[in-house]
Structure 1
Amino acid sequence: MEDLLIALALAMAIEGAAYALFPDSMRRAIAVMLAQPADRVRLMGVAVCAVGVGLVWLLR
């Protein structure tokens, strides 16, 4: 459970840093994502999730 909380905190720190360091780029990225169909966004979410789970599995 502690590992999960650490992973969530790290994800929040990385995302927060991206918004703090590159606010204009993040706005553009969000605009591009909003223009995509929901199915494409969902597919990319599943793909990124699978890569993340795979990396955790390999590293553990």
Structure 2
Amino acid sequence: MDKILLGLGAVLILEGLVYLLAPHSVEVLLKYLKLLSISDRRKFGALLFVFGFILILIIS
């Protein structure tokens, strides 16, 4: 459970840094993602999921 909370905290720190340091870039990214089809967004989400899962497996 400690590792899960540590990972969640790390994600929140990184997300917060993005919004703190580059809020305009976040808006641009969201506009770009809005242009993608639902299918492409799902593929992008699946890719991020797999990448994160592999990263966790490597670290563990």
TM beyond 0.5: yes
Give the TM-score normalised by structure 2.
0.91
Partner SS state of residue 11, structure 2: helix
**Match of residue 23 from structure 2:** 23
Identity of aligned residues (%): 22
1:15 Cα deviation from its structure 2 partner: 0.6
Give the TM-score normalised by structure 1.
0.91
What's the Cα RMSD here?
0.8
What's the CA shift string for 1:26-54, capped at 9, x where partnerless? 10001101111111111111111111111
* Counterpart-to-counterpart distance in 2, 1:20 and 1:49: 24
* Counterpart-to-counterpart distance in 1, 2:25 and 2:18: 9
- Tell me, which stretches of 5 or more residues in structure 2 are unaligned? none
Q: Matches of residues 19-58 of structure 1 in structure 2 within 5 Å?
A: 19-58=19-58
How many correspondences in the alignment? 60
The letter for the 2-side match of 1:59 is I
